[in-house]
């Protein structure tokens, strides 16, 4: 007995329907896969854009904190001391800086690392120099207050010995204050140059125009190229004794 396979019309239609259904499933799978890939890409793009936005927001806040420190605590002392004889003129009283002059920087140390490496180095170097100036001003303020106190005590002592001791202590404190004031005067010009340079590079990164009065330090008659090309006495020289690039070199127009 011989069996002959024949494809009936119903069988053909069933086969065609099966092929169509299979093709529809494949198309649906591919479409779903493409939609998933597009969703993942869109989500990644959105996350990247949000990180960039947050990074620029932090950089903008740091920019204005640096510029505010210049405007509030660096510019006026520099201008005042420029024409003064530290050894002879009366000691000045500067605005007290306070215990937390850099809340934005200290509150965003974890996010600063998301900046480009060159700008991280520039910002960290700038705040290191700013901290040094805060220490200088605080030391001077303490000596100034102690000197004023000793001066008021002179002549009020109940004995000649005590009066001599007060006068000797006053003289020592006055010399200490003048030494600290000279240190401030010497350091201010270079710190202001670094402030100018770092604010300039942060403006480039954030898109904030480097223009006065929005950026106060922009009014300084300085040049980025000249600052970068000139040696510095603030501990941020273009190269150190090991040939390593410094914050000033790294901050230039990156």
- Residues 143-164 pLDDT 10s: 999 999 998 888 776 677 777 8
Nearest to 184 by CA among 94, 105, 103: 94
- Integer Rg of the chain from CA: 34
Query: In terms of C-beta density within 10 A (0-12 exposed, 13-18 middle, 19 or more buried), how is residue 83 classed?
Result: exposed
Q: Evaluate whether 168 touches 220 at the Cβ level (below 8 Å).
A: no
Q: In Å, what is the CA distance from 117 to each residue of 9, 37, 63, 122, 227?
A: 73, 32, 16, 9, 20
In this structure, of 3-12, 164-173, 201-210, the range with the lowest mean pLDDT score is: 3-12
Residues 105-126: tens digit of each pLDDT: 999 988 898 899 999 999 999 9
- Percent of the chain beyond pLDDT 90? 56
Q: Evaluate whether 227 touches 106 at the Cβ level (below 8 Å).
A: no
Using DSSP's 3-state secondary structure scheme, residue 245 falls into: strand
Look-up: residue for tokens 């903008």?
Answer: 60
Would you list the domain boundaries of the chain?
Answer: 19-251
Rounded distance between C-alpha atoms, residue 131 and residue 126, angstroms: 9
**Where does the pLDDT of residue 241 fall: very low under 50, low under 70, confident under 90, or very high at 90 and above?**
very low
Q: Evaluate whether 215 touches 65 at the Cβ level (below 8 Å).
A: no
What pLDDT sits at residue 29? Answer: 77
Q: Say how many C-beta atoms besides its own lie within 10 A of residue 8's C-beta.
A: 8
Nearest to 193 by CA among 115, 117, 122: 122
**Where does the pLDDT of residue 238 fall: very low under 50, low under 70, confident under 90, or very high at 90 and above?**
very low
**Terminal CA-CA length for the chain:** 90
Rounded distance between C-alpha atoms, residue 141 and residue 148, angstroms: 11
Rounded distance between C-alpha atoms, residue 48 and residue 196, angstroms: 30
Look-up: residue for tokens 């590079």?
Answer: 201
Look-up: residue for tokens 């939609």?
Answer: 35
Look-up: residue for tokens 């200490």?
Answer: 176
Rounded distance between C-alpha atoms, residue 94 and residue 228, angstroms: 30
What would the two tokens of residue 129 be? 């120099």
Which whole number is the average pLDDT over 33-53?
A: 72
Average predicted confidence (pLDDT) for the chain: 84
């Amino acid at each position: 007995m011989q069996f002959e396979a024949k494809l009936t019309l119903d069988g053909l239609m069933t086969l065609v329907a099966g092929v169509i259904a299979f093709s529809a499933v494949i198309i649906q799978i591919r479409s779903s896969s493409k939609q998933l890939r597009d969703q993942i890409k869109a989500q990644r793009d959105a996350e990247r854009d949000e990180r960039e936005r947050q990074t620029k927001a932090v950089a903008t806040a740091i920019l204005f904190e640096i510029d505010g420190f210049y405007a509030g605590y660096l510019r006026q002392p520099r201008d005042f001391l420029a024409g003064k004889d530290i050894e002879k003129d009366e000691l000045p009283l500067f605005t007290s800086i306070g215990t937390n002059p850099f809340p934005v920087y200290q509150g965003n140390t974890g996010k600063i690392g998301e900046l480009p490496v060159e700008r991280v180095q520039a910002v960290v170097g700038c705040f290191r120099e700013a901290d040094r100036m805060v220490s200088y001003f605080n030391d001077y303020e303490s000596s100034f207050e102690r000197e004023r106190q000793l001066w008021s005590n002179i002549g009020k002592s109940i004995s000649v010995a005590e009066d001599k001791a007060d006068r000797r202590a006053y003289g020592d404190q006055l010399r200490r204050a003048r030494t600290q004031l000279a240190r401030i005067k010497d350091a201010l010009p270079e710190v202001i140059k670094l402030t100018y340079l770092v604010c300039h590079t942060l403006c480039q990164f954030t898109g904030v125009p480097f223009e006065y009065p929005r950026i106060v330090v922009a009014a300084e008659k300085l040049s980025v190229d000249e600052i970068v090309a000139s040696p510095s006495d603030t501990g941020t020289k273009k190269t150190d004794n090991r040939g390593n690039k410094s914050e000033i070199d790294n901050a230039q127009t990156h």
